[in-house]
Chains A and B, each alone.
Chain A
Amino acid sequence: MIYEGKQKIWSEYQKEIPDDHYFYVRSCIRQSFFPASEATFLEITRNRLGKDIFETEHHTTCGGIAYHSDAIPQETAMTIIARQFGLMHKYGYENYVCSCITSFGLYCETLETWRQFPELAAKIADILWKTCKLEFAKPRFIVHASDLIYHYRNEIAAMARHRLVNVHTGEPLKVVEHIGCHYSKMFPSKGVGGAEYPYVLAGMIEAWGGQVVDYPERRHCCGFGFRQYFIKANRGYSLSNTYKKFESMEPYHPDMIITNCPGCPYFMDRWQYVIAEETGKTYGENGHGIPVFTYEEVAGLVLGYDPWDLGLQTHQIGPEPVLDKMGIKYDPSRKYLGLKGKDLGMPVCPGCIK
């Protein structure tokens, strides 16, 4: 392909990300899985970077879990989403940032549906006014929270106290980046780098000194999928997807994994234990698994936050090998202490994986 053609295609995959003034909505499940990630996002963007990120306690789920599980029809999910957008408008914002990849995909799907079927948008606007007395509005820009951290990656790198570099060898850490499927596989133009070459996490890794691992199943789904794990009989499928990815990345000896989806880090983290239990196989060094992080956790580590304040003790796979390589000091005795020294209790640790 000629150079100009490539440039044209690449330009279609660039995304305009406003610098400031966002209405923030949280994920339903991330606060349970990775309790400090969203708080860290707000801490970094508001306090370290001085940005205006507004959130309200009145926002709800986007309805994505119920929609993708066939529990509610699309019109219902649209009305919930219209309410979220209505709240954004009410508080005077026009840039919308969401924490969840499923939500991001559903917001894109909804906006595209309204664009193609304006009569449906009018119907939803009518329902919204009757039920919530909120004005129907669409965001001017919609971004995922990882887009924003990507946008600020160089500012974060400038403030970095640690880098994704092995302090003992001076070599960059080998980092697997895993992008949630609903980020850009449905609407490639809505993600940085499109569906084939999403750059949102790779950009962070490179800016913070790491080396991106390119492996055959890099774009494969983690296996999360609501229908796959809600029903126990289907969970083997979910597990098998993760297994396929780990088998594929194993020869490259990655040091860590970064993800930008609520489900991917959870399943790639927890399924490693199930794989170890079922097959006896671990993918890290010395019986460890490969630590899996959210992008906010990695940004927090880079900026020098305490690993236990970032909630890394809630991971199945211990983060210690990565902390040691990055030269991050931590107190093992504080591992199971929560905020303000609250004792979280010592979990039962499996013998098959660390």
Chain B
Amino acid sequence: MVDFGFGIVPSSRINLDLFDRAKFEALATLEPDVRKCMACGSCTAVCTAGTFKATSLRAAIEEIQNGREKKALEMISGCQLCGKCFMTCPRGINTRHLILSIVKIYGEEK
């Protein structure tokens, strides 16, 4: 085989049909506000923990919706529940409560 010095890159496509949405529905039942997030990133911008560790509620919600639960839990594992994101959220989401609910539902296996 000829070595071209480059090759076909594996697809990064996400197949939303391949993961179980039951947990997300359970989260949405407990925390309907999760559907309100418009991914503006205000929560991430003001995050104190984000200064020291990759912490982003915006990214965590996106990861959950794409079926990458572990990555989502990583993105909120540094949260200190200070509540600055709650104060800044333009959609009025109770972010602190949402983070606790995510950990409660997705962190069960931990």
- CB-contacts of B1-56 with A (<8 A): 1-2, 4-9, 11
Q: Are A243 and B2 in contact (CB under 8 A)?
A: no
Q: Are A274 and B11 in contact (CB under 8 A)?
A: no
Q: Which of B1, B6, B11 contacts A236, CB < 8 Å? A: B6
List, in ascending order, chain A residues with CB within 8 A of B11's CB: 240, 244
- Judged by a CB distance under 8 angstroms, whether A169 is at the interface is no
Q: B106 to nearest A CB, angstroms?
A: 31
Interface residue tally on A, bucketed by range: 10 to 19
Q: B13 to nearest A CB, angstroms?
A: 8
- CB-based nearest B residue for A233: B6
Q: Chain B interface: which of A37-45, A198-206, A275-283?
A: A275-283
Expressed in whole angstroms, the Cα–Cα distance for A325 and B1 within the complex equals 32
Q: B43 to nearest A CB, angstroms?
A: 32
Q: Is the interface of B mostly helix, strand, loop or mixed?
A: loop
Expressed in whole angstroms, the Cα–Cα distance for A235 and B7 within the complex equals 8
Q: Are B2 and A239 in contact (CB under 8 A)?
A: no
List, in ascending order, chain B residues with CB within 8 A of A233's CB: 6
List, in ascending order, chain B residues with CB within 8 A of A239's CB: 6-9
List, in ascending order, chain A residues with CB within 8 A of B7's CB: 236, 239, 278
Q: Are B8 and A277 in contact (CB under 8 A)?
A: no
- CB-based nearest B residue for A243: B8
Expressed in whole angstroms, the Cα–Cα distance for A232 and B3 within the complex equals 12
- Judged by a CB distance under 8 angstroms, whether A237 is at the interface is yes
- CB-contacts of A202-258 with B (<8 A): 232-237, 239-240, 243-244
List, in ascending order, chain B residues with CB within 8 A of A279's CB: 8
Q: How many residue pairs, one in A and one in B, have C-beta atoms under 8 Å apart? A: 31
- CB-based nearest B residue for A232: B5
List, in ascending order, chain B residues with CB within 8 A of A234's CB: 6
Q: Are A236 and B9 in contact (CB under 8 A)?
A: yes
Q: B15 to nearest A CB, angstroms?
A: 13
- CB-based nearest B residue for A274: B4
Expressed in whole angstroms, the Cα–Cα distance for A244 and B7 within the complex equals 13
- CB-based nearest B residue for A279: B8
Q: A266 to nearest B CB, angstroms?
A: 16
Q: Are A278 and B8 in contact (CB under 8 A)?
A: yes
List, in ascending order, chain B residues with CB within 8 A of A237's CB: 9
Expressed in whole angstroms, the Cα–Cα distance for A243 and B2 within the complex equals 17
Q: A338 to nearest B CB, angstroms?
A: 28
Q: Which of B1, B4, B8 contacts A240, CB < 8 Å? A: B8
Expressed in whole angstroms, the Cα–Cα distance for A240 and B10 within the complex equals 8
Q: A350 to nearest B CB, angstroms?
A: 9
Q: Which of A232, A243, A244 contacts B6, CB < 8 Å? A: A232
Expressed in whole angstroms, the Cα–Cα distance for A235 and B11 within the complex equals 15
Q: B11 to nearest A CB, angstroms?
A: 7
Q: Are B1 and A278 in contact (CB under 8 A)?
A: yes
List, in ascending order, chain A residues with CB within 8 A of B6's CB: 232-236, 239
- CB-contacts of A258-301 with B (<8 A): 274-275, 277-279
Q: Are B9 and A240 in contact (CB under 8 A)?
A: yes
List, in ascending order, chain B residues with CB within 8 A of A274's CB: 4
Q: B14 to nearest A CB, angstroms?
A: 14
10 pairs of A and B residues whose beta carbons are closest in the complex:
A236-B6, A240-B9, A235-B6, A236-B9, A277-B2, A243-B8, A240-B8, A236-B7, A232-B5, A239-B8
Q: Can you list 6 A-B pairs, Cβ within 8 angstroms, ordered by A?
A: A235-B4, A239-B7, A239-B9, A277-B1, A277-B4, A279-B8
Contact residues of A with B, CB < 8 Å? 232-237, 239-240, 243-244, 274-275, 277-279
Contact residues of B with A, CB < 8 Å? 1-2, 4-9, 11
With A236-B7, A239-B8, A277-B1 given, can you name 17 additional A-B contacts, CB distance below 8 Å?
Answer: A233-B6, A234-B6, A235-B5, A235-B6, A236-B6, A236-B8, A236-B9, A237-B9, A239-B9, A240-B8, A240-B11, A243-B8, A244-B11, A275-B8, A277-B2, A278-B1, A278-B8
